[in-house]
Amino acid sequence: MSQEIAVVGSPEFTTGFRLAGVRTFENVPEDEKDEALDEAVMRTLDDDDVGIVVMHDDDMDYLSREVRDAVEGSIEPVLVTLGGGAGSGGLREQIKRAIGIDLMEED
């Protein structure tokens, strides 16, 4: 069985991935992250069709200790965090080469 990539985060973060063909996502607006991000992440982790969960690195700060431990210890699905700055170049460049666009590009 083939597994999906899922993206969790703000609508601004998930849009680029959705345009690149990612079909599984959880939109959590910035002003709701304190209350809703834990549930969105757990729904994604519990989805048997998901093999990779992508989140923005800054969103890790919004997770409760319990959910943070769950995602950090998860082997399947695996969590990949992307930062917004130039320091995230390694993975960012790999994704850019693989799909041909920079999903994290800011205007």
With tokens 């699905």, the residue in question is: 77
Q: Dihedral through CA 74, CA 79, CA 85, CA 86, nearest 10?
A: 100
Per-residue confidence (pLDDT) for residue 55, from 0 to 100: 93
User: How long a stretch of residues is the chain?
Assistant: 107
Q: How far is the CA of 26 from the CAs of 8, 14, 96, 97, in angstroms?
A: 5, 8, 22, 25
Per-residue confidence (pLDDT) for residue 88, from 0 to 100: 47
8 Å CB contact between 77 and 50:
yes
Can you tell me the distance from the alpha carbon of 73 to that of 100, in angstroms, rounded to the nearest whole number? 31
Per-residue confidence (pLDDT) for residue 20, from 0 to 100: 92
Q: pLDDT of 26-54, one tens digit each?
A: 999 999 999 999 999 999 999 999 999 99
Q: pLDDT of 60-100, one tens digit each?
A: 999 999 999 998 888 888 888 887 554 445 566 556 655 66
pTM above 0.85, yes or no: no
Per-residue confidence (pLDDT) for residue 73, from 0 to 100: 84
Per-residue confidence (pLDDT) for residue 72, from 0 to 100: 84
